[in-house]
Structure 1
């Protein structure tokens, strides 16, 4: 056990985490020349294109140092804030972390939030200054920033370049010397932490775990404590680039387990594996069910594809256990699903994977968050509102609570005013402001999650010229004054365009929606009124004028009554047409409602 080191890499998006992992694999000889490729651990096309890690990975390396061979387990973590629960479980499986900071961009919001996560778990932090070979790098200044943040000595910061391979040997040396060996008792009952699972279409779910105490052996019966299910350990082994089967894995080491389970929902990240015969009494703390934060409806463009969409979603859920969906129907769009996502990036990725991997083109409705509604009849029990149409009638409503978040924005001091006014526009309250250096400021806000769902991130980048970085964590529910804005087309309600908004913004949003739809809905032979309503009260209206055929063209000269007769006949026809006509809403109208501020 004294020769095992478990560590992870934490960094902001695009600070060179995946490239550094590639160099470590090269330096330890874990990858042959033939297997080499950039971002080796990111095995999804989507991850490579966007340059983000979506699924975390684990890989074992062997490194000879001072006459002994050390086993280094790199437990990679996803970088984006939507996947922060996965990051926290990966960090819990380690004893140390490499904190990678870009020498050109300095410390960003996610660097700090992931660092706090690591410090809460008492990890040994090794600061690495990456990209020192760039012409725009500023190593001395950024080293000072890291020293201020961590309170370490400047010589402890390792200058490196993952692109050229500079400093990689120093990093490996620091991992062995500074990160403590894992603690654990091989004689105790088995206790292992599940930090990830992947779905293999041939073998079922592969569970990645770190053994805290005891030994896991091939063929033994194992029990998952959160679900209470018992399985046979058909195969266990360690994770090199390809899996290496073993007969047993002892305390301190990391490995994989195949039990033949076909449903990814039965294996939960953060769960504790123990022996079925001699179980441990306590589970590893910190387990929670992943809670979706953002909800949206996903509908097939053609209603006949509903069954095909269901099959695609089921297959996608095998790979992504945090995707939650239930069937729902909408008067405007037919049958579809109400889906829960961890955040907007997660939603975008699910939508893109449906299109790429399953050729499903889908319509996504306005995303919203989950609210708690309380009625006057029973002010204690809450109704969970994931869909605007679930909101009880305003007359019976006592109050509505919405989820709030603690947002951290790090920006240059020139843009403080812009960032503050954006956050106050979004109903944020500033709680703290700290100068990290002379020209970098950390701002903390409490704000409603619903306000950052749409376009907050894009607008933050715009007002700060791309310099601000953003991170958030949920802080619970707070009462709020919310109303449901409905859109009526030709006096028919379009349920897919309903939105829950704050009472103060309702008029403004209703007016904008009507104006936007007026631009996008094609003109018909009759007038189409577009109305925004709260309950029975209309708050805004726009009218799409009818296309008019000139019916009096053939009347030249003669009495006015002949023209009047033709116009009256046209008027009656228009009236009848308006009663029976229905209005098609183009797909871009649904999308446009999301981008109201453009």
Structure 2
């Protein structure tokens, strides 16, 4: 049975046509009728369809008859963006082969290289596929050469397809059956199944996505999550075709789902192993390495009232997306909220949009920051996830920032512009290699804080959209970093504190102070808006006082009458300044925090 199973996933750079190719495979194998067909069928999140990108990996089982034999093809469609590389790594662990998809015009891109290396680390069979050969400017021969130079693939093995028109899809299906090895699991061995995803259904509870490595799981059996240590009865199991389709059993090598009346998603851990409750001593499979959160920010309910609603929404989302984490935090300015960790800036944007669209929660988001490390005077290493945790400068022995290795692939005409951009971001060049006659790959070590804000956008701008970026964490290195505080009327506003390089602090401080001056409403006394490093003020703006014309009723006569009224007003303002509070409206926070540069 397992000799006729093929498990594979499609990996590629963003927008190279993964979801469209998945549509054609579903069509050619007859899994979906033409009437039910729609573009990007597997992208079932509203946000995925709206943005035209894949966010969650999706599994689907296809039946295909070739030479009188029935084959079961299990496809996992994966995201292409660098932020969702964790989804790709989970999918690779459940497959024996991959389709490495490359655009026939754009060629090998940064994420193509990263995904290909990830597949090689898992020892998977790689089938190189050149897509979009129907384009007027397609250059498949040059792209095949690029793939050979950068990835070491054989140009003769490249399958050329057009996912849009369906040309070459039959040849691709033949290549999948011929070249991807069948799974090696034993259906009669003790049950071992890998949990690679989970979803929450309001009516059925937690739905666990599994790939059976060894053994067989049947309806009605009592199973055990080995790492979580919880036992459950299998109420339903089945495959995705692409909708849920129940069956009686899943054998070694098959991909499907389990429903066990689990009401809390917290009981399902991605990377856990499912075994039979009766079989003692089943060894857990090696799980997934925990995702590294790169970017942190605070999420607060905008009216301060929906704290429990926001917590419920975050819990629901965290069940479905294990790469996202959150913990409660309190801000003097914004009230109760949560500190959330994300894989990158796009991931943060997606989570925020999903919260607003799916749970109808109105949010205020603080400026994103990365995790720093501090070695204090006692020699202890402390992780800093938010600027407010940075100790006083006198207690810091060494301030360390995360460094990432960035691979930028650009046409040769733009190499100078990219070098200038990376040097401005304090990048150190590591290598430069040419993929072909027209394109080069530049490798730089750049501080993560300089990458996450807008490096991707800047690369796209200065290369007219042709440059692509991929990055991976290298480690922490010492740097001249400071915590910059914003003070309004002498009081520190914790939500606006940022960690930045000492050389950038003046510029960013002036920008935030100027913006706050424009946004804070005028009071009866003047308000000082200051940016400070420790006790040293580096920028200041003053919001002028509202002035009532107290001398309006004086007409002519002695000047001492006017002086007396003005002096009385002056003393009143002085007293108000001493005891008055400055109200900073939500709108003012939004205006400052929505700025990508933190000012």
Q: 1:142 to 1:189 in 2, by over 3 A?
A: same
Shift of 1:589: 4.2
- What is residue 202 of structure 2 aligned with on the other side? 201
SS at match of 1:52: coil
Q: Is the 8 A contact 1:264 1:321 kept in 2?
A: no
- What is residue 584 of structure 1 aligned with on the other side? 584
SS at match of 1:395: helix
Q: 1:416 to 1:551 in 2, by over 3 A?
A: farther
Once the two structures are superposed, the pairs formed by residues 488-567 of structure 1 within 5 Å of their partners are: 488-567=487-566
Distance of 2:48 and 2:458 partners within structure 1: 24
Q: Is the 8 A contact 2:410 2:468 kept in 1?
A: yes
- What is residue 335 of structure 1 aligned with on the other side? 336
Q: Is the 8 A contact 1:512 1:596 kept in 2?
A: no
- What is residue 245 of structure 2 aligned with on the other side? 244
SS at match of 1:441: strand
Shift of 1:44: 0.7
Shift of 1:53: 0.9
Shift of 1:451: 2.1
Shift of 1:597: 8.4
Q: Is the 8 A contact 2:275 2:282 kept in 1?
A: no
Once the two structures are superposed, the pairs formed by residues 209-358 of structure 1 within 5 Å of their partners are: 209-279=210-280, 282-285=283-286, 287-358=288-359
Q: 1:277 to 1:480 in 2, by over 3 A?
A: farther
Q: Is the 8 A contact 2:520 2:588 kept in 1?
A: no
Once the two structures are superposed, the pairs formed by residues 103-182 of structure 1 within 5 Å of their partners are: 103-182=104-183
2:378 aligned with 1:384, yes or no?
A: no
Return 485-494 or 202-211, whichever deviates more.
Answer: 202-211
Shift of 1:435: 1.2
Q: Is the 8 A contact 1:9 1:98 kept in 2?
A: yes
Distance of 1:152 and 1:317 partners within structure 2: 38
Distance of 1:481 and 1:182 partners within structure 2: 52
Shift of 1:188: 2.6
- What is residue 402 of structure 2 aligned with on the other side? 403
Q: 1:46 to 1:332 in 2, by over 3 A?
A: same
Shift of 1:513: 1.9
Shift of 1:174: 0.9
SS at match of 2:47: helix
Q: Is the 8 A contact 2:195 2:271 kept in 1?
A: yes
Once the two structures are superposed, the pairs formed by residues 406-485 of structure 1 within 5 Å of their partners are: 406-485=405-484
Distance of 1:235 and 1:179 partners within structure 2: 30
Distance of 1:319 and 1:234 partners within structure 2: 21
Q: 1:551 to 1:417 in 2, by over 3 A?
A: farther
Q: Is the 8 A contact 1:489 1:583 kept in 2?
A: no
Shift of 1:310: 2.3
Q: Is the 8 A contact 2:113 2:151 kept in 1?
A: no
Q: Is the 8 A contact 1:521 1:586 kept in 2?
A: no
Once the two structures are superposed, the pairs formed by residues 96-107 of structure 1 within 5 Å of their partners are: 96-107=97-108
Distance of 2:386 and 2:104 partners within structure 1: 45
Shift of 1:556: 4.9
Distance of 1:569 and 1:469 partners within structure 2: 65
Shift of 1:11: 1.1
Distance of 2:382 and 2:153 partners within structure 1: 50
SS at match of 1:231: strand
Shift of 1:317: 2.8
SS at match of 1:35: coil
Return 474-483 or 21-30, whichever deviates more.
Answer: 474-483
Distance of 1:525 and 1:417 partners within structure 2: 54
1:469-516 deviations in whole A, cap 9, x for unaligned? 111122233333332111001111111001112233223322222223
Shift of 1:125: 1.5
- What is residue 43 of structure 2 aligned with on the other side? 42
Q: Is the 8 A contact 2:116 2:151 kept in 1?
A: no
Distance of 1:2 and 1:243 partners within structure 2: 24
SS at match of 1:313: helix
Return 255-264 or 548-557, whichever deviates more.
Answer: 548-557
- What is residue 31 of structure 2 aligned with on the other side? 30
Shift of 1:138: 2.6
- What is residue 85 of structure 2 aligned with on the other side? 84
Provide the TM-score with structure 2 as the length reference.
Answer: 0.94
SS at match of 1:543: strand
Q: 1:283 to 1:433 in 2, by over 3 A?
A: farther
Shift of 1:362: 0.8
SS at match of 1:2: helix
Shift of 1:162: 1.3
Q: Is the 8 A contact 1:191 1:280 kept in 2?
A: no
Distance of 1:595 and 1:91 partners within structure 2: 34
Distance of 1:453 and 1:63 partners within structure 2: 44
Distance of 2:596 and 2:249 partners within structure 1: 54
SS at match of 1:14: coil
Q: 1:167 to 1:258 in 2, by over 3 A?
A: same
Distance of 2:152 and 2:459 partners within structure 1: 30
1:294-349 deviations in whole A, cap 9, x for unaligned? 21111111112223222322333333333322221111111111112222112111
Return 508-517 or 534-543, whichever deviates more.
Answer: 508-517
1:275-312 deviations in whole A, cap 9, x for unaligned? 33335654333522334322111111111222322232
Q: Is the 8 A contact 2:302 2:586 kept in 1?
A: no
- The answer for unaligned runs of 5 or more in structure 1 is none
Aligned length: 596
Distance of 1:225 and 1:411 partners within structure 2: 47
Shift of 1:115: 0.9
Distance of 1:581 and 1:89 partners within structure 2: 52
